Amino acid sequence: MRCFAILVLISVLFSSNMIAQTGDYDPEARLKELGITLPTPSAPVANYVNAVRVGNLLFLAGKGPSKPEGGYVTGKVGVDLTIEQGYDAARLTGIAQLAVLKAELGDLKKVKRIVKVLGMVNCAPDFANQPEVINGYSDLMVQVFGDRGKHARSAVGMIALPRHIAVEVEMIVEVE
């Protein structure tokens, strides 16, 4: 039994090192390939910070879908916005969070893993497609970080979000 536990531990450590030492891991090059330019992260609108680091975990405050031309994507998904528009809003929220990560870390290669995502969708009480909306965020994380972008996730509906934004997402990231 003890030997089995040691073999499992060695296997896990070997797997993590294999991921960590992959030579082609370059999330910033991937952003360029995707045609994404990260904006300057927006400043917090109240008495909080964009990110808090505890050990090797970075906790990102909730961000919303910032439009490249300024302002936010607003409205209720399923009422004012389609699921596809909500998906796009969640993707824009992902870009805003990537900008925070870049500002905090200096280099996105320091991201070891996207650990947990909490996606909140501004929607009517009978709307039930929150996962399809938050897929816009999750799909972007996998496009940018590959397998390191796969994460645990919650996608929930909210009767309202600050400033009527369509989507808000919080994220926990493991970093070097």
pLDDT tens-digit map of 101-155: 999 999 999 999 999 999 999 999 999 999 999 999 999 999 999 999 999 999 9
Q: Which range scores top for mean pLDDT: 2-6, 21-25, 29-33, 67-71?
A: 29-33
Pairing of strands 152-158, 111-122: parallel
Q: Does residue 102 belong to any structural domain of this protein?
A: yes
Report the CATH number at residue 150. Answer: 3.30.1330.40
Domain of 57, in residue numbers = 24-175
Decide if 83 is inside a domain: yes
* pTM for this entry: 0.86
Report yes or no on 82 lying in a domain: yes
> Are 169 and 62 within 8 A, CB to CB?
yes
Identify whether 16 is part of a domain: no
The number of domains in the chain is: 1
Percent of the chain at pLDDT exceeding 70 = 87
Is residue 19 in a domain? no
Mean pLDDT of 61-69: 96
Q: What pLDDT is attached to residue 17?
A: 42
**Is 12 contained in some domain?**
no
Q: Which pLDDT value is given to residue 3?
A: 44
C-alpha count within 13 angstroms, C-beta hemisphere, residue 28: 12
The pLDDT score that the predictor gives to residue 168 is 98
Residue 2 lies in a domain: no
Model pLDDT, residue 41:
93
Dihedral pair phi/psi, residue 139, rounded to 5°: -60, -40
Q: Is residue 4 part of a domain?
A: no
Other C-beta atoms closer than 10 Å to the C-beta of 32 total: 10
Residue 16: which of 28, 27, 25, 26 has the closest Cα? 25
Q: Is the pLDDT of residue 161 over 50?
A: yes
